[in-house]
A and B are shown apart, each in its own frame.
Chain A
Amino acid sequence: MREEQISTVVSVAAVGHAKFGKRKTEGIRELGYEAVSDLFQDLNMNHTDIDATVVGLAADSFSGQGAPAALIVDEIGLAEKPNIRVESACATGTAAIKTAYSMIKGGMHDTVLVLGVEKMTSISSSYATELMARAGDLRWEFPFGCSFPGYYALMASAHMDKYGTTREMLSSVGVKNHFYGAKNPNAHIQKEIGLEEAMNAVQIASPLNLYDCSLISDGAAAVLLTKKDLARKITDIPIDIIGIGSGSDTMQISSRRSLTSLVGTKRAAKVAYHMAGISSQDVDIAEVHDCFTIAEIMAMEDLGFYPPGEAGQAILDQQTYIGGKIPTNIDGGLKSKGHPLGATGISQAVEIFKQLRNEGKAVQVDGAKIGLSHNVGQTGQFVNVVLYKRGD
């Protein structure tokens, strides 16, 4: 029995996605509903046939609703199913996937609906900046008014000093992600930007400007996880989860030995690659956590795609576009698609699911078999790397 449980392959059987953006007329319940109804549309099972739900929602303070996970599942008629809420800051989505994966692996449930939701635009962007700053150490770092972009700006200053990473390299990340976001109907901002425009945007926390920062968005995304044999009854092409790794870091950014990489990402990647029996060279498509442009550069190095200090030039040379070495964030990433905290890691899974099934239409990596999702909470205090493989 135990051996059977351990050898259980957990697959993604179906996905759903709500439109990301400034969703003035919808609250968390409508957003969650939109992703779930998208998932079950045209599926040969009813949503009430699932065994349990895992809801990822990072911050009650944005929407004001306490116990939001209960509200959201009630809205979709699942109030009597086992439900659990997961929070790991901006890595909440992949934490929810990991939780559901572990439940299925452990034999607790067979089929679990994983739903990530966030409603962030009801408050002003300066108050949102205040709330996110409170995710730094309230006692010893918040009192200096270090904004969330400020934390990544500190890392950017160290990375630029150590490796000669340039303003142009940072901006090329945003240019790429907007190039692809412009083609994604679910993206928050469907507009391309120019390199000059990106380089000269208004300063937020130098060296980071407005176009280095991801978006404050409303949105939701959902995946249906189940045992592979059950997934085959739902779809001809299940997408298997072949590796999950996690890592973390110190709460105070000042306590870190290195400011030019995230130890949590390195650990998470190492564990995930080992579990899957692959290396970074086997990955065909990457979804990385580009909450800021410098974060994508550091991620590409920490995940093993490029040696330390070399990702910036590679991105500038368009190696991370489709046709390059490793297509990255071809759904627009957090920068252009948007970053509704709890939904982000699940949205990454949605894009990988489509790509590995060759459903990307206008934006498709031909023959992609393995996809990587990299999701970071705060400034590296929570990191999950999830590896997906086409399972037909």
Chain B
Amino acid sequence: MKPLLGLRDPLFALSLLAIDPGLGGVVIAGPPGTGKSLVARAARVFWPARTPFVEIPLHVTVDRLLGGWNMGLSVSSGVLSVEPGLLAQAHGGVVYVDEINLLDPTLLAILLQTLDRGQVVLEREGISRRFPAQFCLIGTCNPAEGELPPALQERVAFLVRTRTLQDVETRFFIARQAGQRLILPEDMVAAVHFARKILPTVTISKRHLQEICAVASRTGVQGNRAEIFAVRCARANAALHRRTMVTQGDVDLAIRLVFVPRGGGESLPVSEEMDAAFDRAEGSAQASRSSPQSARQGETTAAATHPNEATVEKTSRNTQAASGERMGSRAIADPGWREAASQMAGAVPLPGVRNGGRFGPSGRHAAGLNWQRGRHVRSLPGRLSQGRLDVLATLKQVALRGGLQGKALSDRAIEIRPEDIRIKQFRRRSGLLIIFAVDCSGSMVLNRLMAARQAAIQLLKEAYVYRDKIALVNFCRQEAQLLLPPGGGLARATRILKQMPAGGRTPLPSAFLKVWEMTRNAASRWKVAGSMLVLITDGRGNEPLTPREDKQERRAQAEREARQLAMQLREHLVASLVIDTRKIFVPDGHARQLANWLGGHYVYLPDVQSEVVTALVRSEIQRIR
């Protein structure tokens, strides 16, 4: 079991989902190469044999997802037939999406709507059908590649992380396992199957229900799904432990698993309780351990432990602690940054890290109507070489000019003339992603942020026309923060000021990294034609991504990183604007240097006003549109 150490949280969450599909789903987050998809696929054995397990590729089409005409069968049999899509095939089982945070937002909305309804509502291309589609959802995501959509997080009970373990042995094991199946111990699987049987008999007391609901009110989660999930989680955990009454331990676990990630807690802390729970679930009771947590949680079975595991884990923690506290904490909070940074700098990707090739530069692409990608809007006369044939529309054309002469499709010999050919036309949205990056370090922060926020709001109100997306990043202290993710509406923008840290150092490289993450897959993820950066700052960065002790070195490192990242960003931006808010004008100051690196415009604006910022951005947009 040693090699499963880093995958325990996901495995545990998946076992609970298999016990009660009413938990909606599990999203497994973690950097690449930590075994996310390995564990998701391996967990299949938790479900009864012949349970559908349908994998949805990121490039799936709406027709494939929901169903459509089966043209092959229709033409050969002469009878039009409709083929159910992937979601209908998953009825009664599991839908699995690898890198679900990169799924096209439209497809995600369709997927979630189907999940809510438990039914595919197919109203497309002359077809009006309903298919039952009740399923639960398993997804993986690498948070460094894009935020997890809140709508998705709200529909699943669990967001769990793979733990990055530093020990060579585990990494080696996972590397060796790549491409192979992970075999789970039989007793663990048996425990899950037994738990599913007894689940309906598990009850929860009023006191425990009240505690869960009180936590929901205290943490201020949106909606009532969280507490419903938490109650189900507690019951499933009780069933896993062969109990028919929910205990305090089950409730604590449920609160931790369901509410902590929702309350903004980035990840679950490495939890000994969960390990203990797992050891019990494995049913291998050899030696007993009596730590206070396990005694509190486990009221029935004695906790078992594997001495080897404990040692491995301790060692890995020590290693982290030894490598400097700041570094350690950053590595835990956002282990993906290092890989991202190395990709950006054009370095050789780490083993197991996907290189950036799939996400081509999203910057300099015009978009709109085209023959290849996007949403199918209509079909027009054209040549076969031009794009994708719309078989149905073409056949309709033949029928309309009388080419069928009342004969059925089964008569085979249908004459299709060049003028009958219909080619699908697609639309890609042609809006822009406008990213405000606001320096909130030092003093006089409020002016800058207010101006940026006001400009963002103003532009949001105009955004209907071109479907522009607005984002806002602020940077101060140790790290940059995404305050307004692209696609967030006015409601979210107006709330910005209420949750804002300020002061401290200037982590400019961190801000550039955030911007880069958004822009590099902007076209596919945000459906925009290009990205534009509006940087509002009064000085240079002094907080690098790579920690440095000495003040001078820190400044130099930050500058090196800023320059490197700015040059990379340049490739992804259609325009950039650096607004210098220094009180005293310095010719060729740092802000101008930044503008040069970014290949953008420089504006000196000591008392930054929202109207001016808005006007500047607007004129820049008009120039490139």
- Bound pair: A and B? no
* Residues in chain B within 8 A of chain A (CB atoms): none
